Amino acid sequence: MARFQRSAVPRLLYTLYSTKAAPYCSPSPTAALLLGNFEVRHFAAGNVARAKDDKEPWWKESMERLRNIGISAHIDSGKTTLTERVLYYTGRIHEIHEVRGKDGVGAKMDSMDLEREKGITIQSAATYCTWKDYQINIIDTPGHVDFTIEVERALRVLDGAILVLCSVGGVQSQSITVDRQMRRYEVPRLAFINKLDRMGADPWKVLNQARSKLRHHTAAVQVPIGLEENFKGLIDLVQLKAYYFHGSSGEKVVSEGIPADMEAIVAEKRRELIEVVSEVDDKLAEAFLNDEPISPADLEEAVRRATIARKFVPVFMGSAFKNKGVQPLLDGVLSYLPCPIEVSNYALDQTKNEEKVMLPGTPDGPLVALAFKLEEGRFGQLTYLRVYEGVVRKGDFIVNVNTGKKIKVPRLVRMHSNEMEDIQEAHAGQIVAVFGVDCASGDTFTNGSVKYTMTSMNVPEPVMSLAVQPVSKDSGGQFSKALNRFQREDPTFRVGLDAESGQTIISGMGELHLDIYVERIRREYKVDATVGKPRVNFRETITQRAEFDYLHKKQSGGQGQYGRVCGYVEPLPPGSPIKFEFENMIVGQAIPSNFIPAIEKGFKEAANSGSLIGHPVENIRVVITDGASHAVDSSELAFKLASIYAFRQYYSAARPVILEPIMLVELKVPTEFQGTVAGDINKRKGVIVGNDQDGDDSVITANVPLNNMFGYSTALRSMTQGKGEFTMEYKEHSPVSQDVQMQLVNTHKANKAVE
User: Known binding site for GTP: residues?
Assistant: 73-80, 140-144, 194-197
CA distance 29 to 11: 18
Q: Element (H or E) spanning 550, and its range?
A: strand 546-554
- Furthest CA-CA distance within the chain: 112
Q: Which residues of 365-388 are buried (b: 16+ CB within 10 A; e: fewer)?
A: bebbbbbbbbbebeeebbbbbbbb
Strand partners, 397: 408
Strand partners, 542: 656
CA distance 337 to 339: 7
299 close to 236: Cβ distance less than 8 angstroms: no
CA distance 38 to 50: 9
Among candidate residues 288, 291, 293, the one with its CA nearest the CA of residue 275: 288
275 close to 260: Cβ distance less than 8 angstroms: no
Strand partners, 22: none
Angle between helices 79-89 and 326-336 (to 10 degrees): 80
* Distances in whole angstroms, Cα of residue 21 to Cα of each of 133, 332, 349, 503: 15, 17, 37, 65
Strand partners, 395: none
CA distance 343 to 186: 10
Work out whether strand 444-446 and strand 397-400 pair parallel, antiparallel, or are unpaired: antiparallel
- Give binding residues as ranges: 73-80, 140-144, 194-197
Rg (CA), the chain: 32
CA distance 253 to 159: 28
CA distance 428 to 68: 12
Q: Cβ-count burial of 647 within 10 angstroms (0-12 exposed, 13-18 middle, 19+ buried)?
A: buried
Among candidate residues 202, 208, 277, 209, the one with its CA nearest the CA of residue 237: 277
Chain mean position to CA 451: 21
* Distances in whole angstroms, Cα of residue 726 to Cα of each of 177, 366, 606: 11, 40, 39
Length reported for the chain: 755
CA distance 369 to 388: 5
CA distance 134 to 333: 10
CA distance 63 to 605: 57
Q: Where are the beta strands (DSSP E) in 200-288?
A: 218-220, 222-225, 233-236, 241-246, 252-256
Residue 686: what residue type? G
Among candidate residues 174, 219, 169, the one with its CA nearest the CA of residue 194: 169
Among candidate residues 276, 335, 317, 406, the one with its CA nearest the CA of residue 69: 335
Strand partners, 73: 164
Work out whether strand 66-73 and strand 134-139 pair parallel, antiparallel, or are unpaired: parallel
Among candidate residues 396, 365, 494, the one with its CA nearest the CA of residue 440: 494
233 close to 328: Cβ distance less than 8 angstroms: no
Among candidate residues 139, 752, 29, 723, the one with its CA nearest the CA of residue 386: 139
Using DSSP's 3-state secondary structure scheme, residue 735 falls into strand
Among candidate residues 445, 97, 725, the one with its CA nearest the CA of residue 434: 445
Work out whether strand 218-220 and strand 529-531 pair parallel, antiparallel, or are unpaired: unpaired
380 close to 435: Cβ distance less than 8 angstroms: yes
